[in-house]
Structure 1
Amino acid sequence: MGGIYIQASSIQTYITDQIAQTQFNLSLSLSLSLSLSLSLSLSLKSTYPKTCPTMQPQKTLPESDLPSLAAIKIKSSSPRFPNPSATETPTAGAQRRIGIAVDLSDESAFAVKWAVNQYLRPGDAVILIHVRPTSVLYGADWGSVDLSIVDTDDEESKLKLEDDFDTFTTTKSAALAQPLVDAHIPFKIHIVKDHDMKERLCLEVERLGLSAVIMGSRGFGATKRGSDGRLGSVSDYCVRHCVCPVVVVRYPDEKDAVEPIVSVANADVDEDEGEFHDASDEKKC
């Protein structure tokens, strides 16, 4: 019996030692795990500076069928032009945009003066419209440009004539605008080239969004009004086809009265029943 008791006691001691050894191994493993975690944490802190912001997961935007828009850059207004009147387009903020069709003749100059004295009012802006022919050989009034010495077969001569006429057109247009300068009326000069003056003039009137257009009649090939009340070809065409009211000022002849004959027609006048009404006695708008 004593031998058996000693053997059971040894077994109990062995089991107790094994349990203690197992607990020690678990404690050691836990300590190693904690040490490894601490080392890894210190390593990450040394790799990324403290100022590095926390990275946020990028949000995924919902897909759209619409095309992506290009970036738009907005430029600030130039300090050289603090107000609209000093820019290249002084007519932008005007109450009315009045066009004056000019063909560089004395009659056109008279129409500009008449508009300044009788038609234009404060707040208006003027656009001088000149339709230059594609070939200067088919123009109407070239003033100081001498066409008699032009050799139509010489390309160099024709190019020189074109350059001379461009210079003449610019100078003459500036001279026509002098009454507007003296009256401090904002204006700009609009010159285009086309072989058909009548049609292009009406197109430019519509494109520029004019409130009305003024033109001299005799300067545009107009003859004195007949019994049917018609004017010349260009002015008559503009009255029939322009989208805005047309004021036609006929340059007075020596046998006419001192006051010019002024005709006004609306854009929607009927071609068969259209009449021109004298406006020479009407007051300034």
Structure 2
Amino acid sequence: MATAPTSFVDETTVIDYQKGDYARTVVICVDNSEVSARAVKWATDHVLRPDDLIVFLHCHPPYLLEQEALGLKENAKQILLSRANILPPEFSKVRAISLLNVSVGFRLFTKITEISPEFVVCGTRGEGPLSKALHGSVSDYLVHTCECSVIVPKPATAF
């Protein structure tokens, strides 16, 4: 009797820095929003060091049709590359990983746990309590579940 596969490839490494000469590991969760770009810029200005290994994580929902797979994977790749390009040249120790899961927050959490960084940077849209209750908030989920510190820079509208 044939059995269903128990696992599938749900991550793709877009940029891979494999050398071991870095001081800290820092994860930055990104998407295609302006808030995400601002979080990367904030991190470079305030917490990142040139000798850090910076790991960009992006998670997208699974595709329904095989044709959608190529488009989503290419879109995720472009998001990761565009966020890595925000970094100044001295920040050259970079990994970028695209993840696939229905539960974005949970999948990011499991990968962050596997990486075991010193801290995580994650943008926020600045939603109110009602919107968070209805739609959930990835940054809020990570703040409450990750073992390491999670830094959530305030959105520009909060200032």
- TM bin (shorter chain): 0.7 to 0.9
For 1:220-231, list aligned pairs within 5 A: 222-224=126-128
Which residue pairs with 2:42 in the alignment? 114
Name the CA distance, whole Å, in 2 between partners of 1:225 and 1:216.
17
Q: Which residue of 1 aligns with 2:106?
A: 199
The letter of the residue matching 2:154 is R
**Aligned with 1:214 (options 121, 130, 134):** 121
Aligned to 1:98: 26
Q: 1:90 to 1:110 in 2, by over 3 A?
A: farther
**Structure 1: 5+ residue stretches without partners:** 1-87, 137-157, 227-231, 258-285
Residues 112-162 of structure 1: CA deviation (Å, up to 9, x unaligned): 1111111112321100011121137xxxxxxxxxxxxxxxxxxxxx33232
Higher share in strand: 2
- Of 126, 149, 152, which residue of structure 1 is paired with 2:54? 126
CA distance in 2, matches of 1:250, 1:160: 37
Task: Check 1:181–1:166 CA distance in 2 against 1; reply closer, same or farther (3 A cut).
Answer: farther
Task: Give the Cα–Cα distance (whole angstroms) in 2 for the partners of residues 215 and 235 of structure 1.
Answer: 6
1:164 aligns with 2:71: yes
Tell me if the contact between 2:50 and 2:91 (Cα under 8 Å) persists in the aligned partners. Answer: no
1:172 deviates by 2.0
- 8 Å Cα contact 2:50/2:90 also seen in 1: no
Q: For residues 93 and 183 of structure 1, do their structure 2 counterparts lie closer, same or farther at Cα, with a shift above 3 Å needed? A: closer
Which of the numbers 240, 247, 251 marks the counterpart of 2:151? 247
Contact (CA 8 Å) 2:52, 2:91: kept in 1 or not?
Answer: no
In 2: Cα distance, 1:91 partner to 1:246 partner: 25
More relative contact order in 1 or in 2 (CA 8 Å, sep 6+)? 2
Letter in 1 for 2:91: H
State the shift of 1:90 in Å: 4.2
Q: Which residue of 1 aligns with 2:10?
A: none
CA RMSD after TM alignment: 2.3
